[in-house]
Chain A
Amino acid sequence: MAEAVITLHARIGKTSPRLPHGIAAANDERANGRKLRDRLARVPHAVVLLLALALALWPHWTWMAQRLTDGSDEPWGVLALVTTLALIGREWRKLAVPPRAALLASAALVLLAAGVRPWVPPLAAATIAMSALALFLAGARRDRPATALASLLLLALPVIASLQFYFGYPLRLVTAALAAPMLQLLGFGVQATGAALAYEGRIVLVDPPCAGIGMLWVGAYTAALLSYLNSAPAGRTLLNGAVAAACVFAANVARNVVLFFPEGLDLGWPAWTHAAIGLAAFGIALLPVVLFVQRSARAKPGRRSAPIEWPQRYHRRVV
């Protein structure tokens, strides 16, 4: 009997007159609708809530996009945002609905960000908005390091112009003040004059592009990413960030000392050597940061969150 039914079906599929077009289409639509419903049903509620939260923050996203496209800030935050999305996205099925406290706190921060927006600088409102997102994710992935994720979300903001404005000059000042005695030790009578190095009537400026803000940003990003991948707890994440900042700052001073020679003595080195010296200094600064983060990860495994799983595909390739 079953064989007959199968044969009949096969015959209908091949040779029998087709069902009227409208009926077939309706059937297809019903089938597709069922599939979509099934798929949606399998989407964790946390993802739906996360999308809703992200949607509620649209004025801040719009402002951030505007800042990135009108040339008033550097677009580096996109990298931090993409990194955050990638880290969350690769384990999205594990997102859980956050506890009531986290949900309420997130909702309150969203409202606060919207409420204060007309009265505070847009960057301040966007920071509150990112805090809401960070709190939600902290609740949704309780096995993952919340502070590292929050740091990445903060780095996603268009902060470079503000960092340059508030910290640029002090950094330049201190860099010049530290570089001058190092050059004196090497036998050059260099004096720090404000944010500049003066030597025999010549001036080498430690100007805004030399302040090290870019290196600091990338250093902070690296520390946050490594902290997340190592599931570092909050205190450790902040300590990693501080170590990265200190190492990168020292590297920037060393970079300025080395670059004084081609710039201040008119040695006529090719332009690419400047970038190479800068990259070498940054690479050397990354080494202690990496060692510190890794050592801390090995030192206190008991206090760590669950380790991050590397994708299987990657394991296969390595093997």
Chain B
Amino acid sequence: MSAGTSLLRRLVAPFATCVAFLLPLSSQSAQPADDDRTLSPYFAVTGAPPGVDALPLKATQVDASVTGVIADVTVRQRYRNEGTTPLEARYVFPASTRAAVSGLRLRVGERVVDAEIREKQRARAEFAQAKREGKSAALLEQHRPNVFQMAIANVMPGDEIAVELHYSEIIVPTDGAYRFVYPTVVGPRYVSPSTPAEEGKPAATPSSPIAQPILRKGEPAPHSFELDLRLAAPLPIQSVQSPSHAIAVDGVGADRATVRLAPDRAHADRDVVIEYRLTGSAIEAGLLLQPGRDENFFLALVEPPARVTGSDILPRDYVFVVDISGSMHGFPLATAKKLLRNLVSGLRPTDTFNVIPFAGGVSMLAPRSIPANGENITRALRFIDGQNGAGGTELLPALRFALAMPAEPGRARTFVVVTDGYVAVEKEAFELVRANLDRANLFAFGIGTAVNRMLIEGLARAGKGEPFFVLGAEQADTEAQRLRTMVEAPVLTRVRVSFPGFDAYDVDPPQIPDLFAQRPLVVIGKYRGAQTGAIVIEGLSAGGAWVRTVDVAQARPASGSNTALRTLWARSRVASLADNQRLQPDDPTRAEILRLGLAYGLLTDFTSFIAVDKVVRNPGGHGANVDHPQPLPAGVEETALAAVPSTPEPQFYALVTLALFAVWWIYRRRSLREVIRG
């Protein structure tokens, strides 16, 4: 009896331990709601429930044609469901910052459905309804002007669905080089924990964070990527090259050339950059007209004067604002350091400067700008070399800090921002720069293989400066020299445009900023009446007053590609509106962007493309949702996704080793003691 009681007593404790352990598990089977998805980038977890094809996007094919300065691009995404469960596939992908998306086509087997433009919320509702009804559908939305999301509903097992989107953009040559850029990957954007509260904005604004699954470093894209580019120019093409990819080129020396990038998964982790020059580094300038039924459009490209270096160079104050966040860790920061070393070393003794590195916080080389003498430059180089890439990308506090620094009277100031641009506060940064720049200029350097070009170009535009893109350390010297040249000798300032005898209206940009780089001035707009009169551009170059007149009557006859002017004008207008206004739900600017999007069939922050197949293929619309992941951009470390400073625990194996060592040590002592006692 006593033995039985003793046994029961012994059994009660472990049993009670087990029961206590079970209690919190009662609700474990509850599934997290879809709304719980993080709105920051996150690492994709490989593996999926049985029967679910987690990687339905199999290939991206880009077919581009550049005629003169207008590029027509068709992007074909092929989705195939190799599982046994119907899918809704979502894929976040990048586009050129100047892309005017004007069409979407859905191919389901033999059936072809052309998409229609809708107000964003209405498009979402129609998509949800099509999904419920079991129809295949495609929805293309814009998260940012250069970040889109494709959603495909009811991709049935065995289906092969192709989605084709079409866009146009203007290729503006800089320093005689034309540059066609096709981004393939969206870099992981840092979302500041303090941003929503600080800005008081609802999460659904266009600047809302982007939830995107990202593969671990070293994993290639799950889909293949290929590109075909056809170039047609009025002059022979002197050279075609790519600093980013190994391309096959045919037709150099003629006025037609083709560029091919064969299908490969490894291509899709960095921007495809293709540069070409015409014979004698000539640029194609002139006037294109597109008469229409209701509206006529024009596009003028005016070659600027040659750069002249002035004799009286003002002493300048340079403020270098440098991103040292987690996403800059490794190759991007090494490139940024090389660039900075070059920029700082090249300052003149009469200049002053300061260096402000930022990540989660902000630090600075000196409380005020210091003279660029040998001692201070050496000190600055040591300071730059001591920076490590870690932490978040708190761009706004850093910009506020830099812009608020006291300036010395009589000294021209130049801000130089160096970053990869992996933030989600582009519009806020533009507003901040525009409101606080005073009389300074801001130049923005994008560092890396898949830079957020929207931020870099937008910052430069807001700061009345120029954007620079440094893909690798080998370009650092050239780009630093370009900046020095630009700052010391602007090409054209105080630019004004007039249209004597030519009834032009809705001209964009409304005011042409100072021109630092050697590239044509671009003016796009509408006109009424006859093709008469002139476009006159006046400005001030280092050599004195400069005037250029373009005779409208001499405009080139319209060609096939000129039909894109309508869309390009609308895109340019939307960009100007979005740049200059904070977009609130009740803002008239928002209504104007919506109107432009619907009237001109253009993808915007407030309009989306939707295509719905008529055949019901999956009654009820049941199936799995999959978010197609994308690779980490080449050269970017995984620290880019753990950008907010935190305090992670030590590795498990280190903890266990320490614990087992403690146990071993205790028993070693005990055994020794027992042995000594005999």
Interface, chain A (partner B; CB < 8 A): 70-71, 74, 76, 79, 99, 101-102, 105, 120-121, 123-124, 127-128, 130-131, 134-135, 138-139, 142, 146-147, 149-151, 154, 162, 165-166, 196, 198, 200-207, 209-215, 218-219, 221-222, 225-226, 229, 234-235, 237-238, 252, 255-256, 259-260, 263-266, 268, 274-275, 278-279, 282-283, 286, 290, 294, 310, 314-315, 318-319
Q: Are A210 and B648 in contact (CB under 8 A)?
A: yes
Q: Are A207 and B28 in contact (CB under 8 A)?
A: no
Give the chain B neighbours of A138 by CB distance below 8 A.
10-11, 14
Q: Are A124 and B22 in contact (CB under 8 A)?
A: yes
Tell me, yes or no, whether B17 is within 8 Å of chain A by CB: yes
Which of B4, B8, B647, B656 sits near A259, CB closer than 8 Å? B647
Give the chain A neighbours of B332 by CB distance below 8 A.
none
Tell me, yes or no, whether B666 is within 8 Å of chain A by CB: yes
Q: Say whether chain A's binding surface is mostly helix, strand, loop, or mixed.
A: helix
Q: A127-B21, A214-B650, A225-B663 are in contact. List 19 more A-B contacts (CB 8 A).
A: A71-B46, A99-B4, A101-B11, A120-B25, A121-B29, A131-B14, A142-B10, A146-B14, A162-B24, A203-B392, A203-B645, A205-B644, A210-B648, A218-B656, A256-B647, A266-B360, A290-B662, A318-B671, A318-B672
Q: Are A70 and B360 in contact (CB under 8 A)?
A: no
Q: Are B647 and A274 in contact (CB under 8 A)?
A: yes
Tell me, yes or no, whether B311 is within 8 Å of chain A by CB: no
Chain B stretch 9-37: residues in CB contact (< 8 A) with chain A: 10-15, 17-18, 21-22, 24-26, 28-29
Give the chain B neighbours of A229 by CB distance below 8 A.
663, 667
Which of A123, A278, A314 sits near B649, CB closer than 8 Å? A278
Least distance between B635 CB and chain A CB atoms (Å): 19
Q: Are A131 and B15 in contact (CB under 8 A)?
A: yes
Which of B29, B390, B645, B662 sits near A222, CB closer than 8 Å? B662
Give the chain A neighbours of B663 by CB distance below 8 A.
222, 225-226, 229
Tell me, yes or no, whether B659 is within 8 Å of chain A by CB: yes
Known A-B contacts A154-B18, A260-B647; A218 and B8 likewise in contact (beta carbons under 8 Å): no
Give the chain A neighbours of B559 by CB distance below 8 A.
none
Q: Are A204 and B646 in contact (CB under 8 A)?
A: yes
What total count of A-B pairs have CB within 8 Å? Answer: 209
Can you offer 16 A-B residue contacts whose CB atoms are under 8 A?
A: A121-B25, A131-B15, A150-B17, A154-B17, A204-B645, A207-B644, A207-B648, A211-B649, A214-B649, A221-B659, A222-B663, A263-B391, A274-B648, A279-B655, A294-B666, A310-B670
Least distance between B525 CB and chain A CB atoms (Å): 44
Q: Are B648 and A238 in contact (CB under 8 A)?
A: no
Measured CA separation A135–B363 after assembly (Å): 61
Which of B360, B652, B667 sits near A202, CB closer than 8 Å? B360
Give the chain B neighbours of A226 by CB distance below 8 A.
663, 666
Q: Are B397 and A201 in contact (CB under 8 A)?
A: yes
Tell me, yes or no, whether B45 is within 8 Å of chain A by CB: yes
Known A-B contacts A121-B25, A315-B675; A151 and B666 likewise in contact (beta carbons under 8 Å): no
Measured CA separation A252–B648 after assembly (Å): 10
Measured CA separation A154–B359 after assembly (Å): 43
Measured CA separation A310–B26 after assembly (Å): 41
Q: Are A209 and B7 in contact (CB under 8 A)?
A: no
Contact code string B381-393 (vs A, CB < 8 Å = 1, else 0): 0000011101110
Least distance between B530 CB and chain A CB atoms (Å): 60
Tell me, yes or no, whether B654 is within 8 Å of chain A by CB: yes
Give the chain A neighbours of B671 by CB distance below 8 A.
310, 314-315, 318
Give the chain A neighbours of B45 by CB distance below 8 A.
71
Q: Are A200 and B17 in contact (CB under 8 A)?
A: no
Interface centre among A99, A218, A283 (most CB of B within 10 A): A218
Measured CA separation A42–B668 after assembly (Å): 33
Measured CA separation A234–B649 after assembly (Å): 31
Give the chain A neighbours of B672 by CB distance below 8 A.
318
Tell me, yes or no, whether B627 is within 8 Å of chain A by CB: no
Q: Are A124 and B25 in contact (CB under 8 A)?
A: yes
Tell me, yes or no, whether B374 is within 8 Å of chain A by CB: no
Measured CA separation A165–B379 after assembly (Å): 49
Closest to A202 in B: B361
Measured CA separation A260–B394 after assembly (Å): 18
Closest to B27 in A: A121
Interface, chain B (partner A; CB < 8 A): 3-4, 7-8, 10-15, 17-18, 21-22, 24-26, 28-29, 45-47, 192-194, 359-361, 363, 386-388, 390-392, 394, 397, 644-652, 654-656, 658-659, 662-663, 666-668, 670-672, 675
Known A-B contacts A70-B47, A201-B194, A263-B647; A146 and B22 likewise in contact (beta carbons under 8 Å): no
Give the chain B neighbours of A146 by CB distance below 8 A.
10-11, 13-14
Q: Are A234 and B14 in contact (CB under 8 A)?
A: yes
Q: Are A150 and B14 in contact (CB under 8 A)?
A: yes
Q: Closest 6 A-B residue pairs measured CB to CB? A: A234-B13, A150-B14, A278-B650, A263-B645, A131-B18, A259-B647
Q: Are B650 and A275 in contact (CB under 8 A)?
A: yes
Q: Are B388 and A209 in contact (CB under 8 A)?
A: no
Give the chain A neighbours of B192 by CB distance below 8 A.
203
Closest to B197 in A: A193
Interface centre among B11, B47, B644 (most CB of A within 10 A): B11
Q: Are B24 and A203 in contact (CB under 8 A)?
A: no
Least distance between A196 CB and chain B CB atoms (Å): 7
Closest to B662 in A: A286
Measured CA separation A130–B12 after assembly (Å): 15
Measured CA separation A71–B652 after assembly (Å): 16
Q: Are A209 and B28 in contact (CB under 8 A)?
A: no
Measured CA separation A154–B26 after assembly (Å): 16
Least distance between A177 CB and chain B CB atoms (Å): 15
Least distance between A139 CB and chain B CB atoms (Å): 7
Measured CA separation A278–B650 after assembly (Å): 5
Interface centre among B387, B394, B647, B658 (most CB of A within 10 A): B647
Give the chain B neighbours of A202 by CB distance below 8 A.
360-361, 394, 645
Q: Are A212 and B649 in contact (CB under 8 A)?
A: yes
Q: Are A222 and B659 in contact (CB under 8 A)?
A: yes
Give the chain B neighbours of A255 by CB distance below 8 A.
647, 649
Give the chain A neighbours of B655 by CB distance below 8 A.
214-215, 218, 279, 282
Known A-B contacts A124-B26, A290-B662; A135 and B14 likewise in contact (beta carbons under 8 Å): yes
Q: Are B7 and A101 in contact (CB under 8 A)?
A: yes
Least distance between A7 CB and chain B CB atoms (Å): 53
Q: Are A150 and B18 in contact (CB under 8 A)?
A: yes
Measured CA separation A107–B514 after assembly (Å): 86
Closest to A160 in B: B652
Least distance between A307 CB and chain B CB atoms (Å): 10
Closest to A314 in B: B671
Known A-B contacts A203-B644, A210-B648; A279 and B18 likewise in contact (beta carbons under 8 Å): no
Least distance between A152 CB and chain B CB atoms (Å): 11
Measured CA separation A162–B397 after assembly (Å): 38
Measured CA separation A259–B649 after assembly (Å): 10
Give the chain A neighbours of B645 by CB distance below 8 A.
202-205, 263-264
Measured CA separation A154–B390 after assembly (Å): 38
Give the chain A neighbours of B11 by CB distance below 8 A.
101-102, 105, 135, 138-139, 146
Least distance between B196 CB and chain A CB atoms (Å): 13
